[in-house]
Amino acid sequence: MDMKKIMIVGAASAIAKEVAILFAKEGASLYLVDINQGRLEAVEGDILARYDTKIKLDVLNVLDFERHEPVFKRAIEALNGLDAVLIAHGTLANQEETQQDIEKIIREFNINCVSVITLASLAANYFEKKKEGLIAVISSVAGDRGRMSNYIYGSAKGGVTTFLQGLRNRMAHSNVTVITIKPGMVDTPMTAHLPKSPLFSKPKDIGKIIYKAMLSKKDVVYAPGYWRLIMWVVVHIPEFIFKKLKM
């Protein structure tokens, strides 16, 4: 299957923009969705300065659940069908503040887990009928094991990861690819408040990994690959030890 018509949710995010540029280079038409028109235009301008391709923009606050379906339908209409959907939006709230505030917990879960699940479900139902398509979702290594420093974000991503496992199983019977992307720490606006270590990756490199994973229809991708090893170790620390660590 050629990926010529792609919808990206969270398209103004640093990683998603890099993926969009790589697809634009191949001449794909893009339907870019994000929360803010000005940001979408900035990203559109950056892509168009590089490659001449068809781009449509749509503003969506993913917390407006009732607007998910209309936006999705508009995307299908605008590009005359979709070949792939990349879901890339997310927030990383301060764990200590969030854990003290029920409303914030709900909000973080709605953004990072529930809205991802609803959007991916819309894409799945559409591709299932078409008997082809690709859904790529940016989850996180943080979803592999809960840690005290970011378990609200982590458990939302963990929910996404488990959801995608089930969805992949369902879609495998309809020739639809479902990709779980698990980036480690990436130097983006989302992590601007964190001190940087050598483990941080550049959005451009992560974008390239996602692009390649989409072309080769991988199932689960750690980005970069060494996070698979790091998380293997993290996951295998016995719980009675793990709970005593400050991670």
- Note whether 25 binds another protein by CB under 8 A: no
22-44 burial, b at 16+ Cβ within 10 Å, e below that, comes to bbbeeebbbbbbbbeeebbeebb
In the block, residue with structure tokens 């299957």: 1
Q: Which two tokens stand for residue 211?
A: 């692009």
Length of the chain measured in residues:
247
Q: Rounded to the nearest whole angstrom, what is the least distance from the CB of residue 190 to another protein in the complex?
A: 10
Q: How many CB atoms lie within 10 A of CB 120?
A: 21
Amino acid (1-letter code) at residue 150: N
Nearer to another protein, 38 or 81 (CB): 38
- Note whether 96 binds another protein by CB under 8 A: no
Nearer to another protein, 63 or 194 (CB): 194
Please give the size of the binding site for another protein, defined by CB under 8 A: 15
**Kind plus residue range of the DSSP H or E element containing 136:** strand 133-138
Stretch that binds another protein, among 35-43, 80-88, 153-161, 205-213 (CB under 8 A): 35-43
Figure out which of the listed residues 1, 25, 27, 42 binds another protein, where binding follows CB under 8 A: 42
The DSSP output letter for 26 is T
- Note whether 202 binds another protein by CB under 8 A: no
- Note whether 194 binds another protein by CB under 8 A: yes
Residue 187 burial (10 A CB sphere; 0-12, 13-18, 19+) = middle
Q: Rounded to the nearest whole angstrom, what is the least distance from the CB of residue 68 to another protein in the complex?
A: 24
- Note whether 189 binds another protein by CB under 8 A: yes
Figure out which of the listed residues 3, 4, 39, 76 binds another protein, where binding follows CB under 8 A: 39
Give residues in contact with another protein (CB under 8 A): 36, 38-39, 42-43, 45-46, 49-50, 189, 192-196
